Amino acid sequence: MTTQSVPRFDGNRAFNYLLKQTSFGPRNPNSKGHRECLEFLTNELRRHADEVRLQEFTHTGYENEKLHLTNIVAVFNPRSSSRVLLCAHWDTRPRADHEENKTRRNEPILGANDGASGVAVLLEIASLLNNQPPAIGVDIVLFDGEDYGFEGDHERYLLGSRFFAKNKPIDYIPRFGILLDMVGDKFLEIPKERHSLKFAPDILDLVWGKASTLGFTQFLDEVGEEVIDDHLPLNEIGIKTIDVIDFNYPDPTHRYWHTHQDIPEHCSAESLEAVGTVVTHVVYTQTP
């Protein structure tokens, strides 16, 4: 059996995808940036994938308004029964809860890291999957509505992944899933997220082992905190999924998370390349 070569993941191209998303401004539900970015992401994935499906749904917002939400599902090698799920959320937060300037806390954030970074990595992987199809099938899912809820209102988070999980075809059972969230931090340090360790320790070992072999020290051999994220609805329906996330952005004492400092200048192509390279190697070393 011949070993499939692994294509090179280009962090600069991924960073350009990050910049393209942020060029639309905030991408919170019902905003102009949200509509424009949806069109861009859909068209970009249609260039690369065998199939692209839109999961459109609505949710009643805090002001009793109807939020128009869309998950984007891109399918590569649809005939393969051996499949891997790669996912990220593409929406951005409609408020800046942790902004130091209290007068700006009700303004939507740009979400360069928390929103654009995971998507940027997956768009670059999509181009690789198109140029050099892997031995297995891959599904890239971009979830909407992950970051809508007020802090503490957990039922208003993870709207897209909950919808995806509830409407999953009964025969769709990928081997595992990898969620990418907040992977663009210039000072990237990714511990093992605690829920992932509980639900999918073997997948954590697979990904962290690949990172170690490739020499990426951004993947820390230590356990981090529990993060409420899009991997939870997937694990609840039996899709073993890990969350690759650097929640301390950039560090525990000084954080850009949910502030107006979540901008491209605080992200780097090098960080995207580290994560993208590891995930690419995981995908291309899978056998049917």
Can you give the pTM of this predicted structure?
0.97
- Mean pLDDT over 155-166 rounds to 98
Does the pLDDT at position 194 exceed 80? yes
pLDDT tens-digit readout, 95-104: 999 999 999 9
Give the E-state strand segments of the chain in sequence order: 51-60, 66-76, 83-89, 137-143, 176-181, 190-192, 219-223, 241-245, 250-251, 254-255
What are the structural domains of the chain? 11-284 (3.40.630.10)
What's the pLDDT score for residue 1?
Answer: 42
| Angle between helix 117-131 and 11-22 (nearest 10) | 130
pLDDT tens-digit readout, 33-68: 999 999 999 999 999 999 999 999 999 999 999 999
